[in-house]
Amino acid sequence: MRSPFAYRPRSGPLQSASPAAAVAYLGSLATVGFLYSNPIVLAATGAALVLAGLLAGARDAVRAALWMGLTLALLIVAVNVLVVDRGATVLVRLGQLPLLSDVITAEALAAGAVIGLRAAVVLLAFAVYSACVDPDRVLRALRPLARRSALTATLVSRLVPVAAADAARLRDAARLRGPAAAPVGRAALARRLLAGSLDRAVDVAATLELRGYSLNPPRPTPVATLFPPYTSKKRCDRRGERPRARRSRYDRRFYVVGALVLIAGVAGKLLGADAFAEYPAVQLGVGPATLALATLLALSGLTPLSPRPRRTASTSLPAGWRS
């Protein structure tokens, strides 16, 4: 069973773009989710991420992220209303309870809902990134900067979906033991999953050590030095090395939209688009800046839309020329 957050190669614009362009686009939406507390802006950001994930073909990742985000948001709301007693609108009086609030207020409920919505938006951004950005391309992009950190990040992004698949297989195996078998608790499954993950980590570390990743990398030899008579000038640069891979034609689109979203988010923050207050009473600002920013964020979800293929003219022969 494959994790819904695992990367799957597709031919969409988001998958074809370079990792830097995809990170610029998704990172700008996640940054807006961190900066704002207005539910309208957060909802528009979440709608843009859902739309981007659906257009990119990451339907399973979006569905799983929505389910996990909703569960996390409900948990945050429950904890916030039971711990925070601020607010002027009292909904329920609980009495004297240790370590808990005496009342449940509408303001604490609204504050918890906003925090949960922000967490769901950020979770959506990382889910779309995990399902649409190739970790191998991320490793190649970060290799000149930090080889060990890039390798660690790539291994983590690869092993987390494997651990999720192991957890699903363990649950299925526990259900198939039959009604007479003793029930398997979550603690036992977690211990087995942790033990399997540690064993896999040790095997991966031993494999990398045998392949020489712990040694200093040798200096690459230019291609023109190895094969001087057969090396073309077009295929090699002045130093005799292979040229870098060309950028995708979709990179400019994601860079422009990411920069526009980030600039609009900072400008909206300065212009009062984040007009929202939980205490002492809930106050939601719905001004022109808020609506304009929300509209721009929602439309940014159309960035991964694939262009329609051009129709070619018919090359059929006239009826009298057919054999």
- Verdict on whether the full-model pTM lies above 0.95: no
Cα–Cα distance, 257 to 52 (Å, whole number): 12
Are the beta carbons of 109 and 81 closer than 8 angstroms? yes
pLDDT attached to residue 230: 46
Q: Is the dihedral of CA 216, 222, 223, 229 positive or negative?
A: negative
Report pLDDT digits (tens) over 216-251. 655 555 544 544 544 444 444 444 444 455 667 778
Whether the per-residue pLDDT at 260 is higher than 90: the answer is yes
Q: How confident is the model at residue 166 (pLDDT cuts 50, 70, 90)?
A: confident
Are the beta carbons of 35 and 284 closer than 8 angstroms? no
Question: Residue 250 burial by CB count (10 A; 0-12/13-18/19+): exposed, middle or buried?
Answer: buried
Among 70-79, 253-262, 263-272, 277-286, whose mean pLDDT is lowest? 277-286
Q: Which of 165, 159, 211, 145 is nearest to 64 (CA)?
A: 165
Mean pLDDT of 89-115: 76
Beta strands 90-93 and 103-105 are antiparallel
Mean pLDDT of 154-166: 73
pLDDT attached to residue 50: 92
CA distances in angstroms from 235 to 72, 141, 226, 242, 277, listed in the order given: 52, 21, 14, 6, 60
Report pLDDT digits (tens) over 302-318. 888 876 655 544 444 45
Place of tokens 């990179």: 251
pLDDT attached to residue 231: 47
3-state secondary structure of 121: helix
Domain limits of the chain? 13-176+185-228+263-300
Q: Which of 303, 288, 183, 322 is nearest to 253 (CA)?
A: 303
Q: Which of 251, 256, 259, 253 is nearest to 28 (CA)?
A: 259
More reliable by pLDDT, 125 or 276? 125
High-pLDDT (> 70) share of the chain, %: 73
pLDDT attached to residue 215: 66
pLDDT attached to residue 45: 92
High-pLDDT (> 90) share of the chain, %: 9
Mean pLDDT of 273-289: 78
Report pLDDT digits (tens) over 30-81. 999 888 888 888 999 999 999 998 988 888 888 988 998 899 888 988 888 8
Cα–Cα distance, 268 to 42 (Å, whole number): 13
Report pLDDT digits (tens) over 122-159. 999 988 988 888 877 877 776 666 666 666 766 776 67
3-state secondary structure of 45: helix
Report pLDDT digits (tens) over 5-44. 777 778 788 888 888 888 899 999 999 988 888 888 899 9
Q: Report CA dihedral (83, 87, 91, 93) to the nearest 10 degrees.
A: 50
Q: How confident is the model at residue 183 (pLDDT cuts 50, 70, 90)?
A: confident
Give CA angle at 157 (187, 141), nearest 5°: 165
What's the mean per-residue pLDDT of the chain? 77
53 DSSP assignment = H
Residue 255 CA, distance from chain mean position: 17
Question: Residue 36 burial by CB count (10 A; 0-12/13-18/19+): exposed, middle or buried?
Answer: buried
Strand partners, 103: 93
Strand partners, 92: 104
pLDDT attached to residue 323: 44
Among 26-35, 218-227, 271-280, 281-290, whose mean pLDDT is lowest? 218-227
Count other Cβ atoms within 10 Å, centred on residue 236.
Answer: 16
291 DSSP assignment = H
pLDDT attached to residue 314: 46
Cα–Cα distance, 312 to 323 (Å, whole number): 24
pLDDT attached to residue 197: 80
